[in-house]
């Protein structure tokens, strides 16, 4: 089974479009906005921000791009976040990761109002989510959960191995799967005997950020493979899981592209609309 994130994301957006129209009428025609902050000129980050802006337009949300130079200081970025926190028409704030190295990224993430943290990046949001309390989930893992549930992939009691431990992907992914009653193992590039551990998994999530790091031969037959990676390798798109032989071994998998990526963006838009 191919877990088609592109198709599901389009369905979600279609439902959000009519919802936004109804909400705008209640607000006397004032259209709520998702603010996207991009610091510096990283081309990949600029592309992601543009894609999120296009998704806003498709559902009728206002997109408020905030472009700041790479020389921006932590204090200047905090001032801009404070300004957006206080803007009543801004219903969601996204700080594009990564920011330039001289900026304290965690401090800036945590300055985003918990009510507007639609990308699920604050420490408070992560803590609430991991405890099963109401909070906006980190967009990529939340999108993965939505995709798994849509395709009725059994989660309860299954052994899920998450390969990656970042604060905005690996760790929240593990917490969300745990909340769905999976037995969860978190691995990373320093894990010893990694092929053996991955070979025990019913569900593998590739979130390590290294092209085709997880080899098909490590996967056991019938596994569900979720690939959250995206890399350009010799002119073609690859993920964190080796493509070759994947169809033969998996019961279900996400394609790259067209799997996890569209779900990340649709989750961000969904959570912004939920906050109107």
Structure tokens at 132: 């099963």
Quote the CA–CA distance of 107 and 105 in Å, as a whole number: 5
> pTM of the prediction?
0.94
Average pLDDT estimate for 206-225: 96
Quote the CA–CA distance of 181 and 189 in Å, as a whole number: 25
Q: Indicate the helix (H) or strand (E) that contains 162.
A: strand 159-163
Q: How confident is the model at residue 178 (pLDDT cuts 50, 70, 90)?
A: very high
**What are the CB-based long-range contacts (under 8 Å, 24+) for 65-72?**
65/35, 65/36, 65/38, 66/35, 66/36, 66/37, 66/38, 67/38, 68/37, 68/38, 68/39, 68/40, 69/39, 69/40, 70/39, 70/40, 70/41, 70/100, 72/39, 72/40, 72/100, 72/103
Q: How confident is the model at residue 235 (pLDDT cuts 50, 70, 90)?
A: confident
Q: What is the pLDDT of residues 96-142, one digit of tens each?
A: 999 999 999 999 999 999 999 999 999 999 999 999 999 999 999 99
Q: Give the catalytic positions in this structure.
A: 52, 96, 119
The pLDDT of residue 182: 98
Higher pLDDT, 173 or 29: 173
Check whether 232 has a pLDDT greater than 90: no
Average pLDDT estimate for 56-74: 96
The pLDDT of residue 27: 81
Structure tokens at 66: 């905030």
Q: How confident is the model at residue 29 (pLDDT cuts 50, 70, 90)?
A: confident
Cβ neighbour number for residue 105 with a 10 Å cutoff? 18
**What are the CB-based long-range contacts (under 8 Å, 24+) for 75-79?**
77/37, 77/39, 77/103, 77/108, 78/107, 78/108, 78/111
The pLDDT of residue 170: 96
Q: Which of 276, 207, 231, 261 is nearest to 55 (CA)?
A: 261
Q: What is the pLDDT of residues 153-171, one digit of tens each?
A: 999 999 999 999 999 999 9
Q: What is the pLDDT of residues 6-28, one digit of tens each?
A: 999 999 999 999 899 888 888 88
The pLDDT of residue 158: 98
């Amino acid at each position: 089974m191919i877990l088609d994130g592109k198709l599901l994301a389009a369905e979600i957006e279609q439902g959000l479009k009519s919802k936004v129209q109804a909400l705008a009428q209640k607000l006397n025609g004032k259209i709520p906005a998702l603010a996207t902050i991009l610091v510096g000129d990283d081309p990949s980050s600029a592309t992601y921000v543009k894609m999120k802006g296009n998704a806003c337009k498709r559902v009728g949300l206002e997109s408020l791009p905030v472009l700041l130079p790479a020389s921006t200081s932590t204090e200047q970025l905090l001032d801009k976040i404070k300004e957006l926190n206080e803007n009543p028409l801004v219903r969601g704030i996204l700080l594009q990761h990564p920011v330039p190295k001289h900026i304290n990224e965690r401090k800036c993430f945590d300055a985003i109002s918990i009510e507007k943290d639609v990308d699920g990046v604050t420490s408070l949001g992560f803590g609430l989510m991991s405890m099963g309390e109401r909070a906006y989930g980190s967009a990529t893992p939340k999108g993965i959960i939505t995709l798994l549930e849509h395709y009725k992939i059994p989660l309860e009691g299954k052994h899920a191995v998450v390969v990656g431990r970042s604060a905005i992907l690996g760790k929240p992914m593990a917490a969300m799967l745990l909340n769905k009653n999976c037995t969860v193992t978190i691995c990373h590039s320093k894990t010893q005997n990694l092929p053996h551990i991955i070979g025990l998994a019913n569900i593998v999530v590739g979130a390590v950020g290294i092209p085709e790091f997880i080899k098909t031969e490590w996967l056991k037959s019938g596994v569900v493979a979720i690939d959250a990676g995206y890399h350009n390798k010799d002119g073609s798109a690859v993920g964190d899981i080796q493509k070759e032989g994947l169809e033969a071994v998996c019961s279900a998998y996400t394609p790259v592209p067209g799997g996890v990526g569209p779900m990340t963006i649709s989750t961000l838009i969904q959570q912004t609309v939920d906050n109107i």
